[in-house]
Chains A and B, each alone.
Chain A
Amino acid sequence: MSTTVEQPRQFCTLGGQQSVVAIERAIPIVHGGPGCSNKLFSGMAFFNGFQGSGYAGGNAVPGTNSCEKEIVFGGETRLREVIDGALKVMDGDLFVVLTGCTADLVGDDTATVVSEYRERGVPIVHASTGGFKGNNYRGHELVAEAIIDQYLQPAPKVIPNLVNVWSVLPYQDTFWAGNLQAIRQLLEGLGLQVNILFGHDSGGIEAWKKIPAAAFNIVLSPWTGVSIAEKLEQRFGTPYLHYPVLPIGAVETSRFLRSAGEFAHLQSTQVERYIEKQEAYFYHYLDRSADFFMEMRWDLPAQFINISDSFYSLGISRFLVNELGLKPGRQFITDNPPEIFLDGLVNQFATLADKVSAKVTFTHDGGEIAKTLRSEVFDQPPLVIGTSWDRDLAKQIGGYHLSIALPITDRLVLDRAYVGYAGGLRLVEDIYGAVLGTY
């Protein structure tokens, strides 16, 4: 397998910048080359559902724009200038200094510079995110871990039904804003108090300060976020529930809610009552459109292929198999999960449903994906659920296509969610909308 990457679907640890932008009134400060922040804004935000600058993202991000001088003589002075200026110019509650390749390669002591400000009472932390260190899934974790390590204090007491949620990645998941709202609503429906931490109305720094007071953490993710929860358990003794499947549609969402309810020691009748109401809603609409599913199948896709990260590849596979009875083809996972999680993921795909399993390929090289799919034989047009990179490929193999993962340049995304009960209905609409649009 080649190391070359064509059609990138993930980027570098500095991509954690977007996680900072997602925290209300938090401001990233980038200590790196002049182009880094913009490139990542372009790839993770704008040319991905056309998500924009928001409050202080895009071109508002303070940065050192390191040049030859900073490489040769070091960039700590520049960094201090920019932090000083940011504290005067930028109206923010938390500043997160992130390093790019240049700062980390030349060995600037960013940590010390930043800690000097912190000791003076400035709400500022730093994460070492030189791009060559890993991908932006890891970058997201690094940002959270930095805030936890450098800014949070133990809570005087635990708030009994408060739960922190670590789930989809801001911006990387094009539908993150809607998805996180949906998760919050679901858990609130069970009677929990939810610290969703990112996105509109998520509480900014005050919410983050409450993290140590939570009764438990939920990692609603195949793997990203586990290290954050482990750190919180180590530092504050907070237990965590790891639910590895992104819940889309009724079957999975109900399963998730039961799992969360049990972990939270909620009354099962209360949980079941909520689930029942939600399921009635979901199935009402499936019922209403059952004619379509049963009868208008033309060569509506019987087989689906996911080309996305482990959140969606697994979540969508479970949904389509258990809710619509579709058949899984090969699944591609593009977020480079750490070695320790690979077996678990393979197993998840082996047991999608009774008698239904799928083959998985871990790669994020579009060229390899294309080569693999072009050599497969499809007796019916497959459904390709992937990214805008994959549109041509889907056509070449005679299939249908829907973009749901980074990069999405053929859709505008606002607050659409795929997680949850209503989210499952949205996904169904979008899949079949894409198919019908070819007629």
Chain B
Amino acid sequence: MTTEIQVTPKSVVRQEPGVTIRERRLGSITGYSGTPDELVKISLAGQLVERERSFTQAGTCSSFCATLQLSLIQDAVVINHAPAGCSGDFPMFNLYNRYGQGKRKLDQTSARLITTNLNEHDTIFGATGKLLEAIHKAYSTYHPRAIFVTASCTSGIIGEDLESTLDEAEEELGIPIASVSCEGFRSQVWATGWDAAYSAILRKIVRPAKIRRPESINIITFIGEDYFSELLRPLGLVPDLIVPFTKIEQLETVSEAGATAQMCSTLGTYFAAGLEKQYGVPEIKSPPPYGLTGTDMWLRELAHITGKDDIVEQFIAAERNAIEPELEKLKKRFAGVKAFVAAGPSHGHSSMEILQDLGMELVGSCMFHHDAKLDHGDPAGDTLRAATTGSGRMTYSVCNKQSFELVNLLRRLKPDLVIVRHPSLAVSVAKLGIPACFVDDEHLGLGYRGLIRYGKKIADWFRNPAIERNLSRHSALPYTRWWLEQQPFSMLGGEV
């Protein structure tokens, strides 16, 4: 069902390039230790302050986040204006691309990723010429519908004037060419990269709505499978998963949707709020639909926004009923199991809800950063609070993947099981002999049925964690005995 709306010049909002980093925009931090209750309280009160670590291990940067999202747009090209080292993650993006194409039965093709390969000479004399050449080459080889140019530490520091170069090329070639301000050094919170990518999309790709498609719901996702249809189609709604595996044309018309939802508020906060502010697409502010309560609330808000209040209760009841027997089995299976979650916020919080619904006890959690608020500003969207209503006093810390800290903490807490959601951390956990579950498909645990899917997957692994068992007997962790005897947060300094 569609409705016509008037197009007015005021609907076309052109933003300035760039995006404010999370630290300043959302008060985000990467250093904290305490409890969920306390963290929620001080965040709400606007009193959240960063704590810095003296010793740190390698983190991740915005460039990774931004490029991953953009490289999966099927008919765009991403040009990384950077030295070749920054393209170290290109093979990974390519693999994700092909893997996802395979799953969606699209033709498997290589991701369109180009690097301008900045060298010493460029850092002295500038490289906008190289950039222009790369843009032209990208255009003639791939005929993309858009080009995204991602900045790098190098391009940022030497002060490359991306905007005028891109404006010039855009005029000449007649396709949107957007800069993405994701220089790594700008932010300690790599999620800023998503904001940078979405900002480019909002600025250059999304068009004012010509019609409305109220049954279409934008869902801001990573690369997982479409389990959203399970929740939406019974309500007469259609999920439109964005941004990975979309085409530019699809992104142009996200302004026409009936609402925007997210599978992770940390991921989509900027985009969802932007769509509401600029294009009037209502944002679902409830935490994403994981866990029983979470899914109930989310569905109710979605139904309210889309005028489906009359059928949603029936649906909720039916689904809860349907999963009841298997859920009971799983709860029995997991009774008394102590769990720990190490993940990004929001999605990490969603995992916490799932584990608790499955009957596990959370002994602690470590998230990779914390946003004091979200772009929509509504405290109802606080995913941490929602996930820890009954468990607000557990050990809770924030660290940007500092495995030395995590290992130390886990040795003390001794959980039976750890959910890990970031490359390279699961191994550290496994070497402690603790079953470490990396659930790669972020949508697996979504909704009611997802609870069962997730539970079964964990149960399989948990029953026979042979790798962890053998690794812990034969592998050594690279930490001194001295460190392992310290308190886990002893490198976390005072408030900054």
> Per the CB under 8 Å rule, do A and B touch in the complex?
yes
* A interface residues (Cβ-Cβ under 8 A, vs B): 250-251, 279-280, 283-284, 286-287, 290-291, 293-299, 302, 321-325, 327, 353-356, 379, 438-439
Q: Report yes or no: B438 in contact with A325, Cβ–Cβ below 8 A.
A: no
Q: Report yes or no: A283 in contact with B464, Cβ–Cβ below 8 A.
A: no
Checking A294, A296, A327, A439 against B430 with a beta-carbon cut-off of 8 angstroms, the contacting residue is A294
Q: Report yes or no: B474 in contact with A280, Cβ–Cβ below 8 A.
A: yes
Which are the 5 A-B pairs with shortest beta-carbon distances?
A283-B474, A294-B426, A325-B466, A290-B427, A287-B475
How far does the Cβ of A357 sit from chain B's closest Cβ, in whole Å? Answer: 11
Q: Residue of A at shortest CB range from B457? A: A302
Q: Which residues does chain A contribute within 8 Å of B424, judged by CB atoms?
A: 291, 295
Checking A279, A283, A325 against B461 with a beta-carbon cut-off of 8 angstroms, the contacting residue is A325
Within 8 A of A (CB), among B454-481: 456-457, 460-461, 463-468, 470-471, 473-475
How far does the Cβ of A252 sit from chain B's closest Cβ, in whole Å? Answer: 12
A contact patch SS? helix
Q: Which residues does chain A contribute within 8 Å of B99, judged by CB atoms?
A: 298, 439
Q: Report yes or no: B95 in contact with A325, Cβ–Cβ below 8 A.
A: no
Q: Which residues does chain B contribute within 8 Å of A295, judged by CB atoms?
A: 420, 423-424, 426-427, 438, 440
A280 and B436 CA atoms in complex are apart in Å by: 22
B234 at interface (Cβ–Cβ under 8 A)? no
Q: Residue of B at shortest CB range from A279? A: B474
Checking A286, A294, A353, A355 against B436 with a beta-carbon cut-off of 8 angstroms, the contacting residue is A294
Q: Report yes or no: A294 in contact with B438, Cβ–Cβ below 8 A.
A: yes
Q: Report yes or no: B474 in contact with A287, Cβ–Cβ below 8 A.
A: yes
Q: Report yes or no: A298 in contact with B440, Cβ–Cβ below 8 A.
A: yes
How far does the Cβ of A438 sit from chain B's closest Cβ, in whole Å? Answer: 7
Counting chain A CB atoms within 10 Å of each CB, the highest count among B99, B431, B464 belongs to B464
B441 at interface (Cβ–Cβ under 8 A)? yes
B contact patch SS? helix
Q: Which residues does chain B contribute within 8 Å of A324, judged by CB atoms?
A: 466-467
Q: Which residues does chain A contribute within 8 Å of B307, judged by CB atoms?
A: none
How far does the Cβ of A433 sit from chain B's closest Cβ, in whole Å? Answer: 14
Q: Report yes or no: A297 in contact with B475, Cβ–Cβ below 8 A.
A: no
Within 8 A of A (CB), among B191-235: none
A325 and B471 CA atoms in complex are apart in Å by: 12
B236 at interface (Cβ–Cβ under 8 A)? no
B377 at interface (Cβ–Cβ under 8 A)? no
B98 at interface (Cβ–Cβ under 8 A)? yes
Please report the total number of B residues contacting A with Cβ < 8 Å.
32
B102 at interface (Cβ–Cβ under 8 A)? yes
Q: Which residues does chain A contribute within 8 Å of B426, judged by CB atoms?
A: 290-291, 294-295
How far does the Cβ of B108 sit from chain A's closest Cβ, in whole Å? Answer: 8
Can you report 24 residue pairs joining A to B where beta carbons are below 8 Å apart? A279-B474, A283-B471, A283-B473, A283-B474, A286-B467, A287-B431, A291-B424, A294-B420, A294-B427, A294-B438, A295-B420, A295-B438, A297-B440, A298-B441, A299-B440, A321-B466, A323-B466, A323-B470, A327-B460, A353-B466, A356-B464, A438-B102, A439-B95, A439-B102
Q: Which residues does chain B contribute within 8 Å of A250, judged by CB atoms?
A: 470
Q: Residue of A at shortest CB range from B436? A: A294
Q: Report yes or no: B463 in contact with A287, Cβ–Cβ below 8 A.
A: no
Q: Residue of B at shortest CB range from A250? A: B470
A300 and B133 CA atoms in complex are apart in Å by: 40
A439 and B456 CA atoms in complex are apart in Å by: 25
A293 and B423 CA atoms in complex are apart in Å by: 11
Q: With A297-B438, A439-B102 as known contacts, state yes or no: A356 contacts B471, CB within 8 Å.
A: no
Counting chain A CB atoms within 10 Å of each CB, the highest count among B420, B457, B466 belongs to B466
Q: Which residues does chain A contribute within 8 Å of B474, judged by CB atoms?
A: 279-280, 283-284, 286-287
Q: With A295-B426, A353-B464 as known contacts, state yes or no: A286 contacts B470, CB within 8 Å.
A: yes
How far does the Cβ of A195 sit from chain B's closest Cβ, in whole Å? Answer: 33
Q: With A287-B471, A302-B457 as known contacts, state yes or no: A321 contacts B464, CB within 8 Å.
A: yes
Extra A-B contacts (10), CB below 8 Å, given A302-B460, A327-B460, A353-B466: A283-B473, A294-B436, A294-B438, A295-B440, A297-B440, A299-B440, A302-B461, A323-B466, A325-B461, A439-B102
Q: Residue of B at shortest CB range from A328? A: B464
Q: Report yes or no: A327 in contact with B464, Cβ–Cβ below 8 A.
A: yes
Q: Residue of B at shortest CB range from A290? A: B427
Within 8 A of A (CB), among B87-107: 95, 98-99, 102
Q: Which residues does chain B contribute within 8 Å of A439, judged by CB atoms?
A: 95, 98-99, 102, 108
A294 and B464 CA atoms in complex are apart in Å by: 14
How far does the Cβ of B244 sit from chain A's closest Cβ, in whole Å? Answer: 15
Checking A284, A290, A355 against B467 with a beta-carbon cut-off of 8 angstroms, the contacting residue is A290
A286 and B470 CA atoms in complex are apart in Å by: 9
Q: With A286-B470, A439-B95 as known contacts, state yes or no: A325 contacts B430, CB within 8 Å.
A: no
A371 and B373 CA atoms in complex are apart in Å by: 56
Q: Which residues does chain B contribute within 8 Å of A279, judged by CB atoms?
A: 474
Q: Report yes or no: A355 in contact with B464, Cβ–Cβ below 8 A.
A: yes
Q: Report yes or no: B441 in contact with A251, Cβ–Cβ below 8 A.
A: no
Q: With A297-B440, A439-B102 as known contacts, state yes or no: A290 contacts B464, CB within 8 Å.
A: no
A245 and B468 CA atoms in complex are apart in Å by: 24
Q: With A286-B471, A323-B470 as known contacts, state yes or no: A291 contacts B441, CB within 8 Å.
A: no
Q: Which residues does chain B contribute within 8 Å of A286, judged by CB atoms?
A: 467, 470-471, 474
Q: Which residues does chain A contribute within 8 Å of B438, judged by CB atoms?
A: 294-295, 297
How far does the Cβ of A414 sit from chain B's closest Cβ, in whole Å? Answer: 29
Q: Report yes or no: A283 in contact with B423, Cβ–Cβ below 8 A.
A: no
Q: Residue of B at shortest CB range from A296? A: B440
Q: Which residues does chain B contribute within 8 Å of A297, judged by CB atoms?
A: 438, 440
Q: Residue of A at shortest CB range from B438? A: A295
Within 8 A of A (CB), among B253-308: none
A362 and B438 CA atoms in complex are apart in Å by: 36
Can you list, as one digit per residue, whether each of B415-454 has a CB less than 8 Å from chain A (1) or not (0)?
A: 0000010011011001100001010110000000000010
A314 and B112 CA atoms in complex are apart in Å by: 45
Q: Report yes or no: A290 in contact with B430, Cβ–Cβ below 8 A.
A: yes
Q: Residue of A at shortest CB range from B461? A: A325
Q: Residue of B at shortest CB range from A322? A: B466
How far does the Cβ of B381 sit from chain A's closest Cβ, in whole Å? Answer: 29
Q: Report yes or no: B467 in contact with A356, Cβ–Cβ below 8 A.
A: no
Counting chain B CB atoms within 10 Å of each CB, the highest count among A297, A322, A438 belongs to A297
Q: Which residues does chain B contribute within 8 Å of A251, judged by CB atoms?
A: 470
Q: Which residues does chain A contribute within 8 Å of B461, judged by CB atoms?
A: 302, 325
Q: Which residues does chain A contribute within 8 Å of B470, judged by CB atoms?
A: 250-251, 283, 286, 323
Q: Residue of A at shortest CB range from B101? A: A439
Q: Report yes or no: A299 in contact with B475, Cβ–Cβ below 8 A.
A: no
A284 and B463 CA atoms in complex are apart in Å by: 24
Q: Residue of B at shortest CB range from A287? A: B475
A159 and B257 CA atoms in complex are apart in Å by: 85
How far does the Cβ of A278 sit from chain B's closest Cβ, in whole Å? Answer: 11
A182 and B441 CA atoms in complex are apart in Å by: 40
Checking B420, B441, B464 against A325 with a beta-carbon cut-off of 8 angstroms, the contacting residue is B464
Q: Report yes or no: A299 in contact with B464, Cβ–Cβ below 8 A.
A: no
A263 and B143 CA atoms in complex are apart in Å by: 71
Q: Which residues does chain B contribute within 8 Å of A353, judged by CB atoms?
A: 464, 466
Q: Which residues does chain B contribute within 8 Å of A293, judged by CB atoms?
A: 467
